[in-house]
Amino acid sequence: MTPTLGIVVVAAGSGARLGGAEPKAFVALRGVPILERALRGVFDSVEPAQVVVVAPESHVKAARTIAERVAGGASGAITVVAGGSTRQASVAAGLAALSAEVDTVLVHDAARALTPSALIDRVARAVRTTGAGVIPALPVTDTVKRVGPDAVVQGTVDRSDLVHVQTPQGFPRADLEAAYASATDEHTDDAALFAAHGGRVSVVEGEARAFKITTAWDLRRAENVLGAQTAGLRTGVGIDVHAYDETAPLWLGGLYWTDEPGLAGHSDGDAVLHAICDALLSAAGLGDLGSRFGTNDPRFAGAASEVFVRETLALVSGAGFAVVNVVVQVVAVRPKIAPRRSELEARLSALVGAPVTIGATTTDGLGFTGRGEGIAAIATALLSASA
């Protein structure tokens, strides 16, 4: 299905006020380019979308690399184009790259690197319900003064109906394109241009985290927000090894595999699930599978290893942690993981209740895995303190 939502992410500015060595969107924010952080929010949004990244002419290739890294499997939905000398020209270049099926457009500043995906969803939904322009807004909290010549205050502005606005700003595509086609003046945002050509615009609630990185001080603020976020993170690792047992059925990653040798073990020998349990337990500081469940415990003889995962997850959440993600690597000649990778990832993610990704490798004929004697699985888990 071709997406009917288009998201134009403008990243073609130079960032003169930030004053970095690279254009602003390519400046690192805690080790990750601003554009990459912004695109993470975009790709985490619910509705499938065509994403158009507008980059400086000199950085089109760099932007494409970043966008493909973030999109992963969804990279078919990405377009990267060169921007213009003003933000308005850059938006126009982005609009020109939208595919025919797109009927709703969001225009978003890459400089709003920490915009939560929920805001993107909120704006897209509101455009569809109202059939008009929608912008995120937050109330003005400071007192606002009107100041005349010589720095003399002339009065206090009633702020009760004032808001400051953010992006993404959303519009019915045809109406926004018509407005852009007839625009001659420069406007400070897309909603102003849209309204100047007769469009109706309403507001939805904005997000403090969607602030724009303009100056070095803003970049520091974004770093601090991310720092506070990583403070409660814990990683863990787990490894499990089982020998093949030709007479047993193969259960691996919670799936049954036909025509493959099974694994020897006290339970069903599911090395992937066991490695995941150890990764989760170690991250939470709860010991390991052996000490928690006891390999001699008759309750677990021949048990489906999903039982261990469920028990482990209960212990982990009881200790005050939530799973952020889990990564597994299988080291084995058999079975081949790639053909069932997406099925495995879906099964494991459902079981763990967080994204689980899985990869595999062989060892070039070396060692017990190379000789085809058994399987090793290595897992890492990331937890966050759920308080």
What are the residues binding Mg ion (CB under 5 A)? 13
Q: Is the peptide bond before 335 cis (omega within 30 degrees of 0)?
A: yes
Nearest distance from C-beta of residue 21 to Mg ion, angstroms: 17
User: Which residue is at the shortest CB distance from Mg ion?
Assistant: 13
270, interface contact from Mg ion, ligand CTP, none, CB < 5-8 Å by kind: none
Tell me how far apart the alpha carbons of residues 8 and 168 are, in angstroms, rounded to a whole number.
9
Nearer to Mg ion, 29 or 276 (CB): 29
Nearest distance from C-beta of residue 213 to ligand CTP, angstroms: 7
User: Which residue is at the shortest CB distance from ligand CTP?
Assistant: 13
Cα within 13 Å of Cα(8), Cβ side = 32
111, interface contact from Mg ion, ligand CTP, none, CB < 5-8 Å by kind: ligand CTP
At 33, list the tokens.
């380019």
Q: Is 43 labeled as ligand-binding?
A: no
- Confirm if 9 and 53 have CB atoms less than 8 A apart: yes
Tell me how far apart the alpha carbons of residues 376 and 368 are, in angstroms, rounded to a whole number.
9
At 141, list the tokens.
């909290």
- Confirm if 12 and 110 have CB atoms less than 8 A apart: no
Burial 38-71 (b: 16+ CB within 10 A, else e): bbbbbbebeeebbbbbbbbeebbebbbebbeebb
201, interface contact from ligand CTP, Mg ion, none, CB < 5-8 Å by kind: none
Nearer to ligand CTP, 48 or 84 (CB): 84
Q: Is 362 labeled as ligand-binding?
A: yes
Nearest distance from C-beta of residue 82 to ligand CTP, angstroms: 10
Q: Is 371 labeled as ligand-binding?
A: yes
Nearer to Mg ion, 6 or 13 (CB): 13
Tell me how far apart the alpha carbons of residues 122 and 227 are, in angstroms, rounded to a whole number.
26
Q: Is 361 labeled as ligand-binding?
A: yes
Tell me how far apart the alpha carbons of residues 93 and 96 are, in angstroms, rounded to a whole number.
5
Tell me how far apart the alpha carbons of residues 66 and 358 are, in angstroms, rounded to a whole number.
22
Nearer to ligand CTP, 53 or 102 (CB): 53
The CA-atom distances, in angstroms, between 331 and each of 14, 165, 249 are 46, 51, 19
Q: Is 270 labeled as ligand-binding?
A: no
Nearer to ligand CTP, 168 or 172 (CB): 168
Nearest distance from C-beta of residue 220 to ligand CTP, angstroms: 16
Classify residue 258 by burial, with Cβ atoms within 10 Å: 0-12, 13-18, 19+.
exposed
Nearest distance from C-beta of residue 45 to Mg ion, angstroms: 25
49, interface contact from ligand CTP, Mg ion, none, CB < 5-8 Å by kind: none
Nearer to ligand CTP, 54 or 348 (CB): 54
Question: Which residues are annotated binding-site positions for a divalent metal cation?
Answer: 240, 242, 274
Question: Which residues are annotated binding-site positions?
Answer: 240-242, 266-267, 274, 288-290, 361-364, 368, 371
